Amino acid sequence: MAGAVHRYRTRLEWVGSTALGYDHYDRGHRLWAVTDTGPVAPAGPDGLHLSSDPTFLGDPARLNPEQLLVAAASSCHFLSFVAIAARRRLDVVAYADDADGEMPEDDRPMRITRVVLHPQVTFRATDAASAPTADAVATLHHKAHQLCFVANSLTSEILVEPSSTVVG
């Protein structure tokens, strides 16, 4: 299987509000690994049930370490982003991310070489003046990336390709 690239996808979702500042928003969010057969729930009441990637004879109904790494990068970026937004009193009301990780077989030692985050952020603004500009949102993502301890711990390339919406 030389030359194969293994792909790991996750989906993160959060709905809430950061309008009241850093001390007053819910950090809880949901995350799934996404496979060709659908989402895989990350945990049950008796903990995580893990396996290896199905390519390496693992159980496709269970999470694998590669999915967890992509999930950790996505979750950490989210938490850093909403923390910064809350401190600036920007009202983030929804956040979703479809993250992708890549692990090429022919690039040794085998490892996740790249994670691409696709955060989709919805802001609420009372008027045009309170809506963040595209440049301001890009700066928020840049700062979130700098503050994310998972991104700072990895040697993999981590790209952020965001989009945002403002609702009234």
Confidence grade of residue 17 (pLDDT, cut at 50, 70, 90) = very high
Peptide bond into 109 cis (omega under 30): yes
Helices (H) and strands (E) in the chain, counts: 3, 8
Answer yes or no: is pLDDT of 168 > 50. yes
Q: In the chain, what are the domain boundaries?
A: 5-167
Confidence grade of residue 41 (pLDDT, cut at 50, 70, 90) = low
How would CATH label the architecture of 5-167? 2-Layer Sandwich (3.30)
Task: Give the pLDDT confidence score for residue 44 in this predicted structure.
Answer: 61
Residue type, 160: V
Residue type, 14: W
Task: Report d(CA 31, CA 97) in Å as an integer.
Answer: 9
pLDDT tens digits, one per residue of 143-167: 999 999 999 999 999 999 999 999 9
Average pLDDT value for the chain: 90
Cβ partners under 8 Å of residue 97, min gap 6: 10, 11, 12, 74, 77, 78, 117, 118, 119, 120
- Span 57-77, mean pLDDT? 92
Task: Give the pLDDT confidence score for residue 33 in this predicted structure.
Answer: 86
Count other C-beta atoms under 10 Å from residue 99's C-beta: 27
